[in-house]
Structure 1
Amino acid sequence: MNRQRDTVARFFEAIAEGERDTVEALLADSFTFTSPRDNGLDRAAWFRLCWPHTDRFADFDILLMAVEGQRVFVTYEGVMEGGARLRNTEIFTVTLGRIDAVEVFFGWSLPHPAPEGGSLPDPDG
């Protein structure tokens, strides 16, 4: 197996299981988190701002996990408590079995809110 891949897979398992101690052990001291809403949160800020929301996830269905060097690219469907689903892609940087950085690219809710073959109205008009 691949150490980077195994580390990221364990991260998703620990989130789904609510295992904060495991997540803490997987994140490097220099960890940063970036998403459309967050710009380079450090480890402490991630635990303060993001960890409380992880209990919304009941499970993750990993659709794609590709490793290139220290980077792991993951596309998943998050299964939320209550059954709602969403799709995201994340890039993890993993060094020596610990996650240095996560970059999140938000996807969409499932089922997709736009009609098949169509688009949602532009919010800017």
Structure 2
Amino acid sequence: MPQRSRADVVRSYFAAFINKDRVVVENALSKDFTFTSPYDDAIDRVEYFARCWPNSERIRDAAIERISEHGDGAFVTYKLTMDDGRSFRNTEFITFDGDQIKAVDVYFGATYKEGRFVAQKPN
């Protein structure tokens, strides 16, 4: 059976967030999955579902702008729109182990609401 493309896995992963389909996300992540962002330092699957998955409830749309496959990974740039109208663009580097996502490294972009830049307060 042929392996799915990295881009197909990424699209399925993002669609699962929009559809609030945790089972698809669970199946997409490897057992040794880690997630890193400006707020998270290589957290594991359990912590990822505790911290990050609840955000799916507030996501209205995720528009993938580009996916660039590179070796065992892929860069994806996307625009998320939240239920309150805020939107922001992020880029992630997703590392794969076969058809599963082994790691996600997130790089945050600017936030907008109703087309206007919203300054974020530093922690």
- 2:40 match: secondary structure: coil
2:117 to 113, 119, 122: 113
| Root-mean-square deviation (Å) | 1.8
1:9 to 1, 6, 11: 11
- 1:18 match: secondary structure: coil
In structure 2, what residue type is equivalent to 1:52? P
Deviation of 1:3 after TM superposition, in Å, equals 1.7
2:78 to 61, 76, 79: 76
1:23 aligns with 2:61: no
Per-residue displacement from partner, 1:10-37 (whole Å, max 9, x unpaired)?
A: 0000011100000000000000000000
CA contact (8 A) 2:76 2:92 kept: yes
Residue in 2 that maps onto 1:117: none
The TM-score, its normalising length taken from structure 1, stands at: 0.85
Residues 51 and 37 from structure 1, CA distance in 2 versus in 1: closer, same or farther, beyond 3 angstroms?
same
| Deviating 4+ runs (over 2 angstroms) | 110-114
Structure number with bigger Rg: 1
Partner Cα distance (1:38, 1:76) in 2: 19
The TM-score, its normalising length taken from structure 2, stands at: 0.87
CA contact (8 A) 2:4 2:99 kept: no
Deviation of 1:81 after TM superposition, in Å, equals 1.1
Per-residue displacement from partner, 1:70-117 (whole Å, max 9, x unpaired)?
A: 111011100111332111111101121100000000101123527xxx
Matches within 5 A, 1:40-119: 40-110=42-112, 111=115, 113=117
- 1:113 match: secondary structure: strand
Q: What percentage of aligned pairs have identical amino acids?
A: 37
In structure 1, what residue type is equivalent to 2:6? Q
The alignment of Structure 1 onto Structure 2 pairs a total of residues equal to 116
Could you say which structure has the higher strand fraction?
2
CA contact (8 A) 1:63 1:74 kept: yes
